[in-house]
Amino acid sequence: MANAVIHGQVTRDWRPALRRPRRTTVVALALLAPSLIFLALFTYWPVLQVLWQSLHNQIRIGGPQTYVGGGNFAKLAADPAFRKALSNNLIYAFGTVIPSLVLALGFAMALARSSRVNALFRALFFLPVLIPLVAAASIFLFIFLPGVGLLDYHLAKLALSGPNWLGDPDIALYAIMGLTIWKNAGYYMLFFLAGLQAVPADAYEAAILDGAGPWQRLAYITLPYLKPTIGFVMVIGLLNVVTQVDHVFVLTKGGPSDSTNLLLFYVYQQAVESYDAGKAAAGTLVMLALLLAISASSLRTLERSFGERET
Amino acid sequence: MSGTGTGVATGEFSPKLGYGATLLVAGLWMTPFVWMLVAAFNPQSIGAGMASLIPDYVPTLANFREAWASADFPRYGLNTLVITLGILAVQLVTVTLAGYAFARLEFPGRSLFFYLFLLQLMLAPVVLIVPNLTTIATLGLYDSLVGVMAPYFASAFGTFLMRQAFRAIPRELEDAALIDGASVLQRIRLIYLPLAKPSLIAFSIVSVTAHWNEFLWPLMVINSPDLRPLTVGLASFTRGAEGAQAWGVIAAGTLMVSAPLLIAFALFQRAFVNSFVSSGIK
């Protein structure tokens, strides 16, 4: 009797359970299919292709691909231009992400209170974010122009003379970093403005009662509350450092003597100018590894914000 | 720079130094734009006076005419418009469908698919330009606008954004429609999409801005001059005008390329800011 009841329950539960998931699975896959097709074509397949290419090489044009193992990576490591691009990218990362972050935080803190004037200034800082990087580079081409350019013209009025901003291998990368900071600080400011709204006003009031000065309040209240925002902005900044090189193309083409070459521009050169598919693939893999390392550090945040891991 | 640090958020206490420093920096931040405007309307285009930031002349459109004549900006603009709107149109479909699947359907392998999508967020498409160019060529899309668009048709960011928007919509609304016999697509179109409008707008702004400003990928895919988008057109135009030292013309061309998004921002400031904040996936 009890057995029959259990048995009956089981069959009653089983039938719909068997049919319904299958239907929703079909529907779900049909809904995901359009995205998956394009992801497969332009995200998964290229990664596999690059993996394969980085291990193979074409001896002569039109000839068969031969397995060369780590040959392409050895070639890459031996290429002074690649080593230069890698170290440039490192300097560029530190030299743009940290100053933009500090500036963005400063802007946000100064302009956090909503007022009409502050809204205007926030908009001003945000304007560079909206113009194409290529357009920004076109403007900075004149700013950095030796002699009659905007920077030198106004330095001359102060009886100073600037270096050859884009022509001097020791200066050019820093000039380009100036452009990047100008372009991105306003974007990061938005995140700090949003982050500052979460800092409770009583925390400041309590700190003021305790006699904490402005720097102490910054160190013990604002920064701890903004920790997640800082980490997040850092990740976005580092991703930008790897993926945005349009200004290098317009301003210097990586020169003089590779002093402003960055990884992505190097890969572009290998593929489009030197037709070295093996080196380009190996270089791409290096960048993919960097991107994975950068975003893996924020994977937890990504999962949480998109809710695959509920909090 | 360090002075700005004292402008603590609430502004109750000694923010004046930091505030003042920030306003000074704002002046510096505006200088490139001021120069662009002053130089673009300058009756001259070359010479020593081009670095002036004060418009001591009667403004003319001569530089714009010159820029207009030396590069086919209307055509570049049209190409950019086709690219950005084409990408957006396809994205809105793919992102809505996938977003609904992740928001409301239980199916085996859901987590796996979630991570497969997440991978796109981590591996920025621009890094894959070299292998993607091969794929585009194999598909016969080299030197075509569709070739520029195709890698962006799926968007993990958009999918996750829509997923979140859909999850916030009460299930009861859908159940009611289900009883009325509405199909999945009808339910998405009639119930979910109208209620997810803010997210759709946020995603659209981010997508259009990103692709309006994109350079390296279209540079690789497009070979014919008359298929160039604005950014690629501007870069080659700048190279030509730089040789002639025609800085006023460069400023005018740059202004024309940048103006559409700047105007859109001036009109819809709040929407822009909100969508850019959401683009930073917190």
- Mark whether B181 and B156 lie in a shared domain: yes
Statement to judge: residues B9 and B148 lie in one domain: no
B92 shares a domain with B15: no
- Local structure of residue A140 (DSSP, 8 states): H
> What is the percent of chain B with per-residue pLDDT over 90, rounded to a whole number?
49
Confidence of residue A115 (pLDDT cuts 50, 70, 90): confident
Smallest CA–CA distance from B37 into chain A, residue: A139
Q: Which domain holds residue B12?
A: 2-59
The structure tokens listed for B36 are 């662009």
A128/B48 CB distance under 8 A: no
In this structure, are B192 and B167 located in the same domain? yes
Buried/exposed A250-274: b ≥16 CB within 10 Å, e otherwise? bbbebebebbbbbbbbbbbbbbeee
Between A17 and A141, residue with greater pLDDT? A141
| Confidence grade of residue B14 (pLDDT, cut at 50, 70, 90) | very low
d(CA A199, CA A222): 7
The CATH number of residue B185's host domain is: 1.10.3720.10
Residues of B in contact with A306 (CB under 8 A): 114, 118, 160, 163-164, 281
Locate tokens 């003379």: which residue?
A161
Q: Is the ipTM of this complex over 0.90?
A: no
Residue B49 and residue B176 share a domain: no
Q: Does A222 touch chain B (CB under 8 A)?
A: yes
Q: Which helix (H) or strand (E) holds B278?
A: helix B269-279
CA distance A141 to chain B (A): 9
Give me the amino acid identity at B209. T
pLDDT digits (tens, 9 = 90+) for B235-266: 988 888 887 788 889 999 999 999 999 999 98
Find the CB nearest B280 among A31, A107, A236: A236
Q: Are residues B51 and B82 in the same domain?
A: no
Q: How many domains are contained in chain B?
A: 2
Same domain for B104 and B239, yes or no, is yes
Q: Is the pLDDT reported for residue A277 higher than 90? A: no
pLDDT of res. B9:
45
Three-class secondary structure of residue B11 per DSSP = coil
CATH 1.10.10.10: does it fit domain A71-306? no
Quick one: pLDDT band at residue B12, thresholds 50, 70, 90?
Answer: very low
How does residue B75 score in pLDDT terms, banded at 50, 70 and 90? very high
Give alpha helix (H) positions in chain A.
2-39, 45-54, 71-78, 80-110, 116-130, 133-143, 150-157, 172-196, 201-209, 214-217, 223-243, 246-251, 263-268, 277-296, 299-306
Whether the per-residue pLDDT at B91 is higher than 90: the answer is yes
pLDDT at A85: 93
Q: Which residues of A touch B22 (CB under 8 A)?
A: 106-107, 110-111, 121
State the nearest Cα–Cα gap between B130 and chain A, in angstroms.
Answer: 7
Amino acid at the residue A74:
A
A243, pLDDT greater than 80: yes
H helix or E strand, kind and range, residue B263: helix B247-267
Q: Does A130 touch chain B if contact means CB atoms closer than 8 Å?
A: yes
Q: Is A29 a residue whose pLDDT tops 70? A: yes
Residues A183-242 have pLDDT tens digits of: 999 999 999 998 888 888 888 888 888 888 778 888 888 888 888 889 888 988 998 899
B274 inside domain: no
Q: Please state the rounded mean pLDDT for residues A160-181.
A: 89
Which of A21, A133, A152 is closest, CB to CB, to B213? A133
For residues B196 and B176, membership in a common domain is answered with yes
Is A110 in contact with B238 (Cβ distance < 8 A)?
A: no
- Tell me the average pLDDT of chain B: 86
Distance CA A18, CA A46 (A): 38
What pLDDT was estimated at residue A59? 58
Contacts for A95 with CB less than 8 Å, ≥ 6 apart: A173, A174, A177
Same domain flag for B87 and B137: yes
Q: What does the angle CA A52 – CA A54 – CA A59 come to, to the nearest 5 degrees?
A: 100
Both tokens of A142, joined, read: 């004149």
Establish if B187 belongs to a structural domain. Answer: yes
Q: What is the pTM of this model?
A: 0.86
- Do residues B167 and B43 share a domain? no
Test A132 with B231 for CB contact under 8 angstroms: yes
**Option in B8, B131, B156 nearest A218 (CB):** B8
Q: Where are the domains of chain A?
A: 2-54, 71-306
| DSSP string across B216-253 | HHHHHH--SGGG--HHHHHHHHHHHHHHTT-HHHHHHH
B154 φ/ψ sector (left φ>0, alpha ψ -120 to 50, else beta): beta
Asked if residue B141 and residue B110 are part of one domain, the reply reads yes
Look at residue B104 and tell me whether its pLDDT is greater than 80: yes
Which residue, among B17, B95, B127, B249, would best test binding to A if mutated, counting the most A CBs under 10 Å from its CB? B127
Q: Is the pLDDT of residue A17 over 80?
A: no
Chain A residues with CB under 8 Å of B274 CB are: none
Distance CA A252, CA A88 (A): 14
For residue A265, give the chain B residue with the closest CA. Answer: B216
Max mean pLDDT range (A16-25, B78-87, B166-175): B78-87
Mean pLDDT of B214-232: 93
CB B70 within 8 A of CB B238: no
More confident call, B152 vs B172: B152
Would the pLDDT of B11 be above 70?
A: no
Percent of chain A predicted with pLDDT > 70: 87
- Among A59, A82, A80, A54, residue whose Cα is nearest residue A69: A54
